[in-house]
Structure 1
Amino acid sequence: MKTMKRSTLVIALLALVIVVAAGLWLTRKPAEPGAADKAAPAAKGPAQRPALTVSVAKPEATELTVTLAANGNVAAWQEAVIGSESNGLKLAEVRVNVGDTVKKGQVLAVFSPETVQADIAQARASLAEARASAADAAGNAARARTLQATGALSQQQINQYQTAEQTAKARAEAAEAVLAAQQVRGRNTQVLASDDGVISARTATVGSVVAAGTELFRLIRQGRLEWRAEVTSAELGRIAVGTPAFVVSASGAQVKGKVRSIAPTVDPQTRAALVYVDLPNVQQNTGVKAGMFARGDFELGRSAAPTVPQSAIVPRDGFNNVFTLLPDNRVAQLKVQTGRRLKDRVEITSALPEGVQIVVQGAGFLNDGDLVRVVDATPTAATPPATPATPAASAAVAK
C-alpha cells in the first residue's frame, strides 16, 4: 500500500516539472534576425577620437650667445682711508655721512682751530722778533766791515759781528719754518676728500679728541665697483681683457660690466683665478653693493643651435620632455636636455631625430601615445590656450 502511494507521488512531481518546462518554452521570445551581426560591432566599441587639437613645428637653428658662468664677490675698485693729521684736537663738525658722493678737496670734517690759531700767532711773533734781531745783527756787521780798513776794530771783533749776523739770520729762518709748520696744522683742522668717490664708512664723531693717524672715513674711489669672479684654470684661457659680462646680484639686479684685468696667478688650493670686472657707478646701481656675492656670465661669442618654443617644453618627473608627432597622428614623449635661452625659445642640447615635428600648442595636456588633431599655428603675438576637440580631452587632462 505504501509503495503504491510513493509511486503516485513521483509520477505527480514528474508531471509538474513537464508542465513548467512547457510553459517556459512557450513564453520565450524568438531571436531577432541579425542579432549576432549587431553584437559584433558593439563588442568592438566606438571609433577613437583625437584627444586634443595641437600645433606642431620643427626645431629652428637660432644664433645664441656662448657664455661662461662664474661666481664671485663685489668689492670696491680701490678704497681710500681718510684719517686725522692733527693731534689732540677736538672734532667740531662732521659734514658728510655714509653714502654721500664727494669731490676731491671737499671738506668732510672740521677740528676746533683755537689752539692751532694761538700757536700760529705765537709763531708769527717769534718770527717778527727773529727778523728784528737779524736786521740789527746785519747792521752791526755792515758797520764793522766799513771800519775794517781803518783799524778801529780788530779782526776778531769784526768776525764776531759777522757771526752774530749769520746766527740771527738762521734764527729768523727757523722761526719762518715754525710758522709754516703751524700753518700746516691750521690747514689740517679741515679734513679733505683725497679723491672723488662715495663715503663707505664713517667713524668720526663730533666732540671726540683723536690722535694723528686715526681713521675717520673710508672712501670708494671714483665710485667704482668691481666683480671678482672665480674662474677655473681650465676655462681661464677663454676670457680676455675687454670681454663683456653680465652680473646678477643676490637681489636680482643685473649690471653689465667689462673685464679689466685677469689675475696672473691661480690659487693652488681651489685651482681658480680671479677675473676683475669693472662695474658702472655705484650710485647708479643701487642693487649692487660692495661685499655682495654675485653670479654672472661672460659673453664669449655667438653660435647657432637648434631651438624650440618655450611652450613645447613639458617638465615632468624632474626632467624636460617634448612630444613628437608620429605618422599616425599620435604623439611620443621624448626626454630632452635644454641649454641656453633667447626670449621665448630654448636650446635643445640632446640629439633629435631628423625632420622631427614637435608639439607646441597644447603640449602640456598630452600623454605618451595620445591621438591628436594637427592644425597650423596662428602667427599671433600671444599663443591662445589649446582647445579640446572633444569631451575626451577632459579625460586626457585628468590623466
Structure 2
Amino acid sequence: MAKSIQPNRPEDLTALKAAYAQAQAAVAQEEANLVRAKANLQEAAENARRYRWLVAQGAVSAQEADARETQSKVAAADVRNMEERVKASRFSAEQSQQRLSMGLTGGRSEDIAIAKAQKLEIEATIKQLQSQIDQTVIKAPCDGIVMKRHVHLGEIALNNKTMFEIVRDGRLELKAQVPEKDLLYVKEGQPVEMTGDSGKIFKGCVREISPLVEQETRLGTVRIDIDSCPDLKPGNFLRGEILIGKENVATLPTSCVTYKGNRPLVYQVEESQGGSRARMLYVQLGARDGAFVQVLNGLKAGDMVVERGGGFLKDGDPVRVLTGNAQSQP
C-alpha cells in the first residue's frame, strides 16, 4: 500500500521512462508502416484499375487482371492490419505514460483505496489464522498443580468436557454439604473451623454458597477456602463448623431431655409444702453443641430441672435435690 501512495524509487522511474520512450518509438514505427501500407494499397488499386481497362482493350489476359485485383485486396488487408497495430501501440504507449505518471506522483485514489482494502483483508485473514492457532493451545486460567488428567493424546476435545483438574495456586477448599434450614445463617467470609481424623484443627472461611439446593437430599453446597497447610492433601475428609456468631442462649445438658410422642420434654423441680416434685414441661429445642442443647421455649434461665433419670418419672413424682453437686434425681 505504501508503494501505491508514495512515488517510486529513482531506479524504478528510470525503467518507467525507458518503457515509455520505447512505447513511443513503437508507435512511430507502426505509424510509418501504416503509411507504407497505404501507399502500397494506392499503387495496387491503380494497377488493378489499369489492368481492367487493358482487358477491355484485349491487350492483356483476364488472368493477369485478376492477379492485380488480388494484390489490391491484399494491400487493403495490410492497411487494416497496420491500423490495428497502430491502435495497439498507441494504447500501450498510453499505459506506459500512466505508469510513469503514477511513479512520479504516486498512485491514484482508487488504487490507494483498493490497496487499503487488500491490506485490511490480509490483516483479517492473519487474525483468523492466529485465532485458530490459539485454539490448539490449552492454557490454564491460573497457576497451579495438575491433579487429574481426563484427556490423552489423539482424543477429540469437546467444549463441555473437563480436560484437567488443578489445585489453583496450591490452594485447597472444602466442599461442604449444609442442610437447607442452616443455609439461611451462612454468609460469605464467615470463619470456619475444621477437624480431620487426626483431630488437628484447620482454619478457613466461607468463599461461595451455591444458589441450588439438591431436591433429593435438601442439601446445599458451601465452598470453604482452607488456610495453607502442608498436612492436607486433595481428597482428605474434614468436618467443619461455620462460626455464624456468638449469642447468649439458654442451654441444657442433653441428658435432661426425654421424649414423649417425638416431643421433647424436661422435668422441672418445683418446691412445695410437701417437698420437691417433678413437673413435666414440653420444650422447644434449638441447636446442639456437643453435650448441650439450646432451649428456645418452655423454660427460663435459672429453672431447676432433673438431669438424669427423667425417663423413669411421671408428672408430679416427688424428687430429692442434691445440693452438694447441684444435681436432682428421683
TM-score (norm 2): 0.39
Larger Rg: 2
Tell me which protein shows more helix as a share of its residues.
Answer: 2
TM-score (norm 1): 0.33
Tell me which protein shows more strand as a share of its residues.
Answer: 1
